[in-house]
Amino acid sequence: MEQQYNICLDIGGTKVLGAIFDENRQIVHRLKKKTKEGGESTENVEQVIISVVEEMLAASGIRRESINAIAAAAPGVINQADGIVLFSPNLPWRDYDIKTAVEQKTGIPFYIGNDVNVGVLGEYKYGAARGYSNVVGFFVGTGMGGGLILDGELFTGHLFKGAEYGHMILDPEGPLCSCGQRGCLEAFSSKKGMSAYILQQASRGRVSSLAGTIENGVFKSKKLKKALIERDTVAMEAVDRACHYLAVATGNMINTISPDVVIYGGGVIEAVGDVFLQKILAEVDKYCMPSIRSTVELKTAALGDDSVIYGDLAMIEEARF
């Protein structure tokens, strides 16, 4: 019998990352493509998705008939049962039936979920959270995403809107968040939050090498790593502040969920996860009950940038939606 493959996609605001998995869950082909080259319309992003699929098939020599399914993850509120993107903050999609659009153009079954939910699912099935039943995931990137596994099942809440604890309010008089609230975890601990702090300090005359690298409101994660190696004082303050609020949020989630494990993932953790984990561990005990904290592990994600595409694979294998 001919081997079957799965195509998994990580759809971001500026790129689509694609991978083809074989039956042994090994990645046999990868491709990354920008989404903003031809504008930001729904059609443009859809075209990039289709082109990533077509180009990977052509380059790998794998026949379309050998593809079992396509799964994707994207930021935003996504009706995973019907494959409809209700809202996406960084993509031009509102009530967009992407499942029908992709299936009509490829002839292949298609699944889609929220990127952080899917990333946490990937870590649960194949990564750092494997073997645990209750998992809290913080994904630190341009924004701040949350994902929950409860009693071995991905928790998405009413109408798939749950686990948005990146917008847990930690200081009602704190900095304005892109969601419209003040003092969210995202406003302190994401790349957007750290970048805003660094630019604020630079506007007061303080020097930071990282300030000059900020574009469209954020720095690149590898630039943060370089700044920390160089002992950039303002960058170090931004990280200390980010980790403080992550420790507070972690303590809140530990008290609320009593998870087996808390996982930290995303681009920032991929770049400087050891620094973040060390600082969070140094503080978190102050913000949760000792009797609950004693049974919780804190770990960085094991799959790095591949957490989401492995979560896609899990979505297909479980035929979850």
Note whether 154 and 277 are same-domain residues.
Answer: yes
**Tally of domains within the chain:** 2
pLDDT band with cut points at 50, 70 and 90 for residue 305: confident
Helix-helix angle 98-106:42-60, to 10 degrees? 40
What is the distance between the alpha carbons of residues 175 and 181, in angstroms, rounded to a whole number?
9
Note whether 283 and 140 are same-domain residues.
Answer: yes
pLDDT number for residue 205: 96
Residue 181 CB: number of other CB atoms within 10 A?
15
In Å, how far are 58, 126, 177, 257, 304 from 307, measured between CA atoms?
A: 25, 9, 26, 22, 6
Spatial contact of 260 and 133, defined as CB atoms under 8 Å apart: yes
> What contacts 269, CB < 8 A, 6 or more positions away?
139, 140, 276, 300, 301
- Tens of pLDDT along 112-152? 999 999 999 999 999 999 999 999 999 999 999 999 999 99
Q: What is the pTM of this model?
A: 0.93
- Tens of pLDDT along 42-62? 667 788 889 999 999 999 999
Amino acid at 157: G
Q: Of 73, 91, 114, which residue constitutes the final position of a domain?
A: 114
**pLDDT at residue 86 tops 80:** yes
Residue numbers of the domain that contains 196? 128-302
- Tens of pLDDT along 232-264? 999 999 999 999 999 999 999 999 999 999 999
Of 236, 118, 233, 249, which Cα lies nearest the Cα of 183? 249
Q: Reduce the DSSP state of residue 283 to 3 states and report it.
A: helix
pLDDT number for residue 178: 87
The CATH number of the domain holding residue 163 is 3.30.420.40
Domain for residue 122, yes or no? no
pLDDT number for residue 41: 61
pLDDT number for residue 321: 42
- Chain centroid to Cα 206, Å, comes to 32
Note whether 9 and 150 are same-domain residues.
Answer: no
> What contacts 86, CB < 8 A, 6 or more positions away?
76, 77, 78, 79, 94, 95, 160
* Location of structure tokens 């020097």: 207
Segment 207-217 mean pLDDT: 93
